[in-house]
A = this chain, B = another copy of it.
């Protein structure tokens, strides 16, 4: 049984975005507006794109949503994926409406014949298809679930193969993180299709972030996954910074600010949390890959400062500012943030103005 890593997968064209076949992992999300409301949906799609989403999915639960699709597709700045359940006519309509991809669960769309009808129309329109199976939509015993899901998946894939359709993305999600990991490892062992990964219904607040980070992060570190969605309840725009941070943590993107802050301890001379939040906010629009360290004391401070692009390090009364490993200023602790921001600002300006 061979194993297909991320960059060995088939390239699937989703509008102007490629999923698969390279190390660029695509961030995507899904609107939670009513798709009937074209303006609200477009507004959210634009907010998602501004945050960093490259593909956005919309639910198409009925005919009214279907009728809204052409306007959404036309005005969206990113490729649109239609999420369809139960009604194959909606999938056919979405393809005609010009979506870049449809997501279906072949198990709930009616019949093999109906799935094949969708495949043929998608082929004609060069529309990609995602087979999206959630363990929740299969149900049953957890122990048996991984095997059952894979058996079901392999049956569906045969339909696509016999239609000579390869613009296929696979997702197999569970609200159980370990199960999600196991299922995706198995899929990557057997198939060359790119994988869409995520932990579904992952919970609320920090718990959701923990589960998504571990599930997605572990698979990416194993070389598995071509596009990711972090599922959080509420405003989907919140999902994007988490997705970006996951990619940054596993070394798959290097842009933007990586801020590190020591957890405060009985040795800390400054309020590192307050400082870090302030600096994060001030630097949020910077795209240059820099590492900024906010250090509370002299134990790890100077060492960490050497590894960071910029650093501030609290002292007894006065603290230090470092740039590129060198100490550049010494100021009272209360002026550290201002001094750090001045140093970064001046330095990034200089870098920009340098002739290439």
Asked whether B203 lies within 8 Å of A206 as measured between CB atoms, the reply is: no
- At the interface, yes or no: A273 with Cβ under 8 Å from chain B? yes
A297 closest partner in B (C-beta):
B61
Q: How far is the CA of A139 from the CA of B261 in the complex (A)?
A: 16
Q: Which of B59, B83, B262 contacts A233 (CB 8 A)?
A: B262
Asked whether B259 lies within 8 Å of A204 as measured between CB atoms, the reply is: yes
The stretch from A8-16, A26-34, A113-121 touching chain B is: A26-34
Q: How many residues of A contact B (CB 8 A)?
A: 86
CB contact under 8 A between A300 and B201, given known A139-B306, A232-B263, A266-B61: yes
Q: How far is the CA of A147 from the CA of B272 in the complex (A)?
A: 30
- At the interface, yes or no: A78 with Cβ under 8 Å from chain B? no
Q: Which of B61, B178, B201 contacts A261 (CB 8 A)?
A: B201
Q: How far is the CA of A177 from the CA of B142 in the complex (A)?
A: 31
A322 CB to closest chain B CB (Å) equals: 11
- At the interface, yes or no: A131 with Cβ under 8 Å from chain B? no
Q: Which of B57, B83, B234, B246 contacts A214 (CB 8 A)?
A: B246
Q: How far is the CA of A5 from the CA of B233 in the complex (A)?
A: 36
- At the interface, yes or no: A293 with Cβ under 8 Å from chain B? yes
Question: Chain B residues with Cβ under 8 A from A167's Cβ?
Answer: none
The stretch from A46-54, A152-160, A215-223 touching chain B is: A215-223
Asked whether B65 lies within 8 Å of A276 as measured between CB atoms, the reply is: no
Question: Chain B residues with Cβ under 8 A from A300's Cβ?
Answer: 134, 136-137, 200-201
8 Å CB interface, A189-220 against B:
200-211, 213-215, 217-218
Report copies per complex: 2
Other A-B pairs beyond A61-B266, A139-B302, 9, CB < 8 Å? A61-B267, A65-B266, A136-B307, A137-B304, A138-B303, A200-B262, A200-B300, A203-B258, A217-B218
Asked whether B249 lies within 8 Å of A214 as measured between CB atoms, the reply is: yes
Asked whether A207 lies within 8 Å of B245 as measured between CB atoms, the reply is: yes
A259 closest partner in B (C-beta):
B203
Q: Which of B178, B201, B221, B260 contacts A201 (CB 8 A)?
A: B260
Q: Which of B138, B232, B299 contacts A137 (CB 8 A)?
A: B299
Asked whether A306 lies within 8 Å of B140 as measured between CB atoms, the reply is: yes
Q: How far is the CA of A295 from the CA of B201 in the complex (A)?
A: 8
Asked whether B85 lies within 8 Å of A245 as measured between CB atoms, the reply is: no
Asked whether B210 lies within 8 Å of A245 as measured between CB atoms, the reply is: yes
Question: Chain B residues with Cβ under 8 A from A76's Cβ?
Answer: none
Question: Can you list 28 A-B contacts with CB-CB less than 8 angstroms, sorted by A residue number?
Answer: A30-B263, A32-B263, A32-B264, A32-B266, A35-B266, A83-B265, A83-B266, A83-B267, A135-B303, A136-B300, A139-B302, A139-B304, A177-B249, A200-B300, A201-B263, A201-B295, A204-B259, A204-B277, A207-B259, A209-B210, A210-B245, A210-B246, A213-B217, A214-B217, A233-B261, A233-B276, A234-B273, A239-B263
